[in-house]
Amino acid sequence: MIEKTSRLEQAAIVGLSYDILVQIIDSLVVNDAVHFLSTCSSLHTIMKDEWFWKHLCSHHGVPDATAFGVHSFRALFTTLLYPYSPLLGLWAGDHPFTGNILEFRVVPRFGKQPGGIVGEMWRFRVLELESGDEPEAPETPEFVPLVWIGFSQQDLVRGRTDAATALSAQLFCCVDATRKHAMELKVLPETALGTILHTRHGQFMHPDFPDPELSAWLDTCRALPRVTDTSLKSAHYPPLSPLRSRPRVFELFPVPTDCWKPRAIALTCERGCIKASQPFLGFKNDAPFPPRYYPLRHCVPRGISPSSDSWSPASLCGLWLGSYSSHGTECVFVGWDETRRSLRAVKITGDENVPRGVVSWEARAPPADFASLDANEQQSCSRVLGGDVHRCLLFRGAGTMSSRGFLPSGRYFPSMVLAISSIDEMNVVWLDTGAEWGSSFVRCKGCRRDP
């Protein structure tokens, strides 16, 4: 029986041609591929083949290891791509009110540095309100480099880069390109900490991020970078200063909540420039630890015209950039909720009125005909959308607005009409707000590309 099984295994795996083995390895995730090849000495020899490592590197668009300062694909993969490739893609920061988006990508060259992995922050333009600067269309962000991960020039000069025992990828803060210095990437454990807003009117919980009910944006399939987890616990945080009874400005403090947040990453640098480059917030934030970043889902579904029979509200799922009047451009994740039969736009970046993590608007199916809108709604839609209104697919719904601070007493939920005008464009017409105005949205096809 044992002999039969052994023969069967040999026939099934070891006896396969090299091409078939390649196809099997191709279909496995990296860990499984390495485990598979470790099952017997015959297969293990494949791991000594530089072709195998080149193949794994090609999954990340890396055709040439020398551009990264190393001469073997094995060194490149084991020291850079294996530990850090889970970073590739988008990350949503839990910064109170503003949120923040980071994007990691592989670059063949970075300034005077060889290739590596670069992490850039999406910085949206701050409007100059005194000059009436309120663009109607959303604007694409500026990409601000924060992190570079690769092999240092020193290693290259010393010729150490192929000695696997001496080689390790370095992490540098590149906020100030002239003063490159070390930064730290941490994988943080789950936490139940949240944030409270302390005001002279009382204390109010800040929306959790991610909120389990509103986390369609959270990419639970993405792995975290393969670096040592930190055991950063709330008990290790420095004690908070006592709360002032009547603070002059709103203050933010971490507090325990019932809402558990998953593992996350955090970035810090020794000079504090990563912290200084965060989006501006006019409130005092006393959190003694850096913001947490979570994997942000980014999918661009096949474009289906709203006039097509195969179009459905789920065709709108994904990231969108929207114009939020004086707050400028913000990013929302649109998800289709089958149970509620509604489209919900959750803010990934927010502002001092309506923060990140909050439903910006919710539009209910089925679509409404223009003729079914009441006279006021028709008038508002026509003023905002002009003649295009008759070509749009319309949905009724409600949005979220607030005075500064998102205090419960300052929130209100005006009616709105969502108007889908094309595959990648839609508008929200805000009603009941005293004057008609619209927010326009364009699909965020991401990810950053070199010019």
User: Which residues contact Zn ion (rule: CB under 5 A)?
Assistant: 173, 175, 269, 271, 273
- Smaller CB separation from Zn ion, 167 or 269: 269
CA distance between the termini of the chain: 63
DSSP 8-state secondary structure symbol assigned to residue 227: S
Q: How far is the CB of 111 from Zn ion (least distance, A)?
A: 16
Give yes or no for a contact between 191 and 234, defined as CB atoms under 8 angstroms apart.
Answer: yes
- Smaller CB separation from Zn ion, 109 or 275: 275
Q: How far is the CB of 185 from Zn ion (least distance, A)?
A: 13
- Smaller CB separation from Zn ion, 271 or 298: 271
Q: How far is the CB of 413 from Zn ion (least distance, A)?
A: 41
Give yes or no for a contact between 335 and 363, defined as CB atoms under 8 angstroms apart.
Answer: no
Strand order in 251-261's β-sheet? Answer: 202-205, 191-199, 251-261, 284-285
Alpha-helix runs per DSSP H in 257-374: 273-276
- Smaller CB separation from Zn ion, 16 or 273: 273
| Residue 210 to residue 212: CA distance in whole angstroms | 6
Q: How far is CA 276 from CA 58, 170, 176, 270, 281, in A?
A: 36, 22, 11, 12, 11
| Residue 146 to residue 105: CA distance in whole angstroms | 12
| One-letter identity of residue 325 | S
- Smaller CB separation from Zn ion, 9 or 176: 176
- Smaller CB separation from Zn ion, 183 or 252: 183
- Smaller CB separation from Zn ion, 269 or 416: 269
- Smaller CB separation from Zn ion, 26 or 270: 270
Burial of 304 (0-12, 13-18, 19+ CB in 10 A): middle
Q: How far is the CB of 271 from Zn ion (least distance, A)?
A: 4
Q: How far is the CB of 86 from Zn ion (least distance, A)?
A: 23
Q: How far is the CB of 183 from Zn ion (least distance, A)?
A: 6
Residue 424: CB atoms within 10 Å: 15
Which tokens belong to 160? Answer: 């150490």
Q: How far is the CB of 180 from Zn ion (least distance, A)?
A: 9
| Residue 43 to residue 35: CA distance in whole angstroms | 10
Which residue in 292, 305, 323 sits closest to 137, CA to CA?
323
Q: How far is the CB of 173 from Zn ion (least distance, A)?
A: 3
- Smaller CB separation from Zn ion, 149 or 442: 149
Q: How far is the CB of 274 from Zn ion (least distance, A)?
A: 5
Give yes or no for a contact between 355 and 285, defined as CB atoms under 8 angstroms apart.
Answer: no
- Smaller CB separation from Zn ion, 171 or 173: 173
Q: How far is the CB of 143 from Zn ion (least distance, A)?
A: 17
- Smaller CB separation from Zn ion, 61 or 272: 272
Which residue in 326, 325, 362, 332 sits closest to 350, CA to CA?
332
CA angle 111, 114, 117 (to 5 degrees): 90
Q: How far is the CB of 277 from Zn ion (least distance, A)?
A: 8
Residues 6+ apart with CB under 8 A from 426: 316, 320, 418, 419, 420, 440, 441
Region of residue 432 (left: phi > 0; alpha: psi -120 to 50; beta: else): left
Which residue in 144, 446, 142, 146 sits closest to 321, CA to CA?
446
